[in-house]
């Protein structure tokens, strides 16, 4: 009788617990997959910035063994993790081999994407990828479907490694021929390869990249690495899988490649025209040098940051063109920055549709959803606001002109790394503003785009419609 009386009690005590636990796990999984990707990215980026700041602050990281000021170490760490390339100290003369290696590792991690690295580790250890991790990785790599995450990860690893190796193989013998030792040539080749493909723009040589003006053995490998790195891994994935059937490429891939090609043509023609007679840049060079230098300069605002021309000596028109190209940036899910070429293309297409009176935005035989256009507008407005705020604050803090300050702000936000030369002389507070601009520029549009995508909702009740006057 005692046993019969206790059985229902046991069922009542133990029955709901598994259901509650399962419900709790489901709620946790939903919250993890929806709420934490942006927080995880912000948290891990911040943590790594702290780690690399500490490493770069060590005396062993500098050539003179005296250590580096905290603001300069922090600025360099942010620039490396955010694959920007803006510097407050000369990379080639200030940092030791240890310091340059720290920068190179930071660039590699920042370029691959921290969530991508975490996902690769999960696959190698657990041989599988959980739903939450797939959602996180899909948001960072811009995979179109969760099922593609594994393929995107493989393409990321294979492509980045292949292009870095190819660039390394192309540059190392050339470095050796140009009177560098074997060890130095190997290190320079590896550093340039990682810095170029990840669109970082760090230069490990004291003479900088101006020494390679019009040099095809340097400009072509570096330019190709920067260009491929700026396309975006989702585009590379589509091209690799469907190389022989371009008609089956996704709209994203077609839009990215087409817009990139158009921007390259505009940049090449603009730099060649506006710098052709400028004695401080290309005025005294031969035709071959002018053509190669203009092509190299057209690629770098994608987010590459290498410069064979002195940006500070360019014409005002060339710097304005560079401002525009830096703000647009590279492809989504790439190592580049900016608002991304697809965002720019969608905005231009929406304007064209409005001019023609079309109710829908159409491209390559497909209709673009209205919520995608809204996301593009949100990214544009947020990005412009950040650049405006940074420029305004820097104008208040420094004696430099609007042209110079705007250029540095756009370079930081677009994670480009080109500079008019004023960054090293900025006061501490201004360096902190640019560091924050790099941080937000690397994570801001990505995070905002993901947030806008998951916050879309259907309303059962709508207010009456009324059109205000526009224009």
Q: What one-character-per-residue DSSP string does 385-399 give?
A: HHHHHHHHHHHHH--
Report the distance separating Cα 294 and Cα 308, nearest Å: 10
**pLDDT tens for each residue of the chain, 471 residues long:** 444 444 444 444 444 445 554 555 455 445 444 444 556 667 778 889 999 999 999 999 999 999 899 999 999 999 999 999 999 999 999 999 999 999 999 999 888 775 565 455 444 444 454 544 455 455 544 555 544 555 566 767 787 888 899 999 999 999 998 878 899 999 999 999 999 999 999 999 988 899 999 999 999 999 999 999 888 877 887 888 788 888 888 888 899 999 999 999 999 999 999 999 999 999 999 999 999 999 999 999 988 889 999 998 999 999 999 999 999 998 887 778 889 999 999 999 999 998 988 888 889 888 998 888 988 898 899 899 999 999 999 999 999 999 999 999 999 999 999 999 999 999 999 999 999 999 888 876 556 545 445 555 566 777 787 767 766
> What are the distances in angstroms from CA 126 to CA 121, 122, 130?
8, 6, 10
Task: Provide the pLDDT for residue 35.
Answer: 43
DSSP state letter for 367 = E
Predicted local confidence at residue 45, as pLDDT: 81
Query: Which pLDDT value is given to residue 121?
Result: 47
**pLDDT score for 2:** 44
What SS3 state is found at 63? Answer: coil
d(CA 101, CA 105): 6
**Helices within 300-420 (DSSP H only):** 316-328, 341-356, 370-397, 402-413
pLDDT (0 to 100) of residue 32: 43
Cβ-based neighbours of 327, under 8 Å, separated by 6 or more:
338, 339, 383, 387, 410, 413, 414
pLDDT one-digit tens code per residue, 69-117: 999 999 999 999 999 999 999 999 999 999 999 999 999 988 877 556 5
Q: What tokens were used for 143?
A: 């995979």
Phi-psi region of 385 (alpha: psi -120 to 50; beta: other; left: phi over 0): alpha
Residue with tokens 């080109």: 418
**What is the tens place of the pLDDT at every residue in 359-402?**
888 898 889 988 889 888 988 998 999 999 999 999 999 999 99
Residue 167, C-beta contacts closer than 8 angstroms, at least 6 positions apart: 189, 192, 193, 196, 197, 221, 222, 224, 225
- Name 368's bridge partners: 361
Claim: this prediction has a pTM higher than 0.85: no
Element (H, E) at 366: strand 366-368
Distance, in Å, from the CA atom of 390 to the CA atom of 394, rounded to the nearest integer, reads: 6
């Amino acid at each position: 009788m005692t046993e019969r009386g206790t059985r229902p009690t046991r069922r009542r005590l133990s029955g709901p617990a598994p259901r509650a636990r399962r419900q709790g796990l489901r709620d946790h999984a939903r919250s993890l997959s929806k709420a934490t990707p942006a927080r995880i990215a912000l948290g891990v980026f911040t943590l790594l910035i702290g780690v690399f700041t500490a490493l770069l602050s060590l005396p062993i990281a500098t050539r003179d063994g005296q250590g580096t000021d905290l603001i300069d170490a922090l600025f360099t760490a942010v620039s490396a993790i955010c694959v920007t390339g803006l510097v407050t100290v000369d990379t080639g003369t200030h940092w030791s081999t240890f310091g340059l290696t720290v920068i190179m590792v930071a660039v590699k991690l920042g370029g691959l994407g921290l969530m991508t690295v975490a996902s690769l580790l999960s696959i190698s250890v657990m041989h599988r990828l959980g739903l939450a991790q797939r959602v996180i990785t899909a948001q960072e790599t811009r995979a179109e479907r969760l099922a593609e995450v594994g393929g995107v990860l493989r393409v990321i690893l294979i492509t980045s490694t292949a292009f870095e190796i190819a660039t390394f193989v192309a540059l190392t013998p050339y470095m050796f021929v140009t009177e560098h030792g074997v060890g130095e040539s190997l290190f320079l080749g590896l550093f340039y390869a990682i810095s170029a493909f990840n669109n970082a723009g760090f230069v490990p040589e004291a003479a900088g990249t101006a020494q390679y003006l019009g040099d095809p053995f340097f400009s072509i490998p570096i330019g190709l690495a920067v260009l491929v790195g700026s396309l975006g891994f989702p585009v590379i994935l589509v091209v690799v899988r469907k190389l022989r059937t371009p008609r089956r490429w996704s709209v994203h891939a077609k839009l990215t490649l087409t817009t990139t090609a158009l921007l390259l043509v505009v940049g090449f023609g603009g730099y060649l025209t506006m710098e052709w007679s400028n004695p401080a840049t290309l005025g005294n060079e031969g035709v071959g040098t002018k053509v190669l230098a203009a092509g190299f300069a057209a690629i770098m605002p994608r987010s590459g940051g290498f410069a064979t021309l002195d940006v500070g000596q360019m014409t005002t028109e060339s710097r304005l063109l560079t401002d525009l190209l830096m703000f647009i940036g590279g492809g989504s899910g790439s190592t580049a920055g900016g608002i991304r070429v697809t965002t720019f293309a969608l905005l231009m297409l929406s304007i064209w549709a409005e001019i023609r009176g079309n109710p829908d935005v159409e491209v390559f035989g497909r209709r673009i959803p209205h919520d995608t256009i809204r996301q593009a507008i949100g990214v544009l407005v947020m990005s412009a606001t950040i650049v405006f705020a940074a420029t305004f604050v820097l104008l208040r803090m420094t004696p430099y002109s609007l042209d110079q300050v705007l250029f540095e702000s756009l370079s930081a936000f677009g994670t480009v790394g080109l500079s008019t030369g004023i960054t090293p002389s900025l006061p501490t507070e201004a360096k902190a503003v640019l560091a924050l601009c790099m941080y937000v520029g690397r994570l801001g549009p990505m995070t905002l785009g993901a947030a806008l995508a998951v916050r879309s909702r259907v309303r059962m009740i709508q207010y009456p419609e009324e059109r205000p006057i526009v224009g």
